[in-house]
Amino acid sequence: MQPRARLAMVWSAIIAPVIFATVLQAKADPVEPDVEEGDRLAHNLCINCHVVDNQGPVIRTDQVPSFPWIA
């Protein structure tokens, strides 16, 4: 079996149904965003490189986008 045919078979048999089911599940059970948890995670994990709000890294660079720019 050629690699392209094998890839197409794997895609159609396994990957595509999983993606489809995931999308259906996400639409069926919308999750309420936890803003406080997101803020806590941003200040604990992201603030070392990104400007999250008025706080941020000691050394600022144009190579790492700020949260307002990403949004």
Q: What is the 3-state secondary structure (H, E, C) of 6-60?
A: HHHHHHHHHHHHHHHHHHHHHHHCCCCCCHHHHHHHHHHHHCCCCCCCCCCCCCC
| pLDDT profile of the chain (71 residues), mean per 10 | 76 76 71 84 84 67 76 75
Cα–Cα distance, 32 to 2 (Å, whole number): 45
> Does pTM top 0.95 for this prediction?
no
Instruction: For residue 62, give the nearest of 52, 50, 44 by alpha carbon.
Output: 50
- Which residues, in sequence order, are CB contacts of 29 under 8 Å at separation 6+? none
pLDDT at 17: 76
